[in-house]
Amino acid sequence: MGLFGFGGKKEKTASAGKGDKISFNGGSDAVTAKCILTAGVRGVEMDINLSGDGANLSHGPVSAQGESACVTYFDKKGTGQSLRPKKARLLGDQNYWMDVSCQYLDRGEKVNEVLAKLDETLANQDFIVGQLSLADPVVAGSVMALKKAGNCPSGLSNVDAWLGRVEQKIPENLRANYMGQLG
């Protein structure tokens, strides 16, 4: 057995009770869109406040701050299986696209190149790494923000179809009440 790592010692951590509801605060930006899409896809119920800045959540005694922390928490708290692929190569692909979304799309850099590559990737598969993964709500959040700002190139039929598939994965009330405000 390894001397370190999470197969070893277990420890008690703060945790929310059954009656505690998640409260999420964010702004009307790509980061918030990623978090809400992830929560929606994972079936996490929460109260949402979009008048804030950045992204943070509270859940009983637990709090999390920032895009990555919130996305991870929603994935872990969702129903059924996590969106993180178990196979190393799919995990690498998922994280590659999540990095690309932060590094380029959210900064408005290489947008045409990245989306052309994404369109090519989605030509023969429904989701970014094949199966639904965290890359889908995260990259979709970036693309939605670009679309809302009018910075998304047109003619990307595979990206548009994929965006529709991701949106179909989230509950109707989230789509109706929040998605139009984001990005």
**Per-residue contact track with another protein, 81 to 100, x per CB under 8 A?**
-----xxxx-xxxxxx-xxx
- How far apart are the C-alpha atoms of 130 and 82, rounded to whole Å? 15
CB nearer to another protein: give 75 or 148: 75
Rule CB under 8 A: say whether 4 interacts with another protein: yes
Cα–Cα distance measured from residue 59 to residue 17, given in angstroms and rounded to the nearest whole number = 9
Strand partners of residue 24:
48, 57
Of 49, 65, 81, 177, the one binding another protein (CB under 8 A) is 65
Which are the contacts of 62, defined by CB distance < 8 A and separation ≥ 6?
14, 15, 16, 73
Q: Considering the rule CB under 8 A, would residue 115 count as an interface residue with another protein?
A: no
Cβ atoms of 144 and 163 closer than 8 Å:
yes
What is the three-state SS of 146-169?
HHHCCCCCCCCHHHHHHHHHHHHC
Minimum distance from CB of 67 to another protein (Å)? 7
Assess 80 for contact with another protein (CB under 8 A).
no
Cα separation of 38 and 36, whole Å?
Answer: 5
| Residue 6 in the binding site for another protein (CB under 8 A) | yes
Q: What string marks each residue from 8 to 27 as x (binds another protein by CB under 8 A) or -?
A: xx-x-xxx------------
The residue count for binding another protein (CB under 8 A) is 45
Binding site for another protein (CB under 8 A): 1-9, 11, 13-15, 62, 64-73, 76-77, 86-89, 91-96, 98-100, 103-104, 110, 113-114, 117
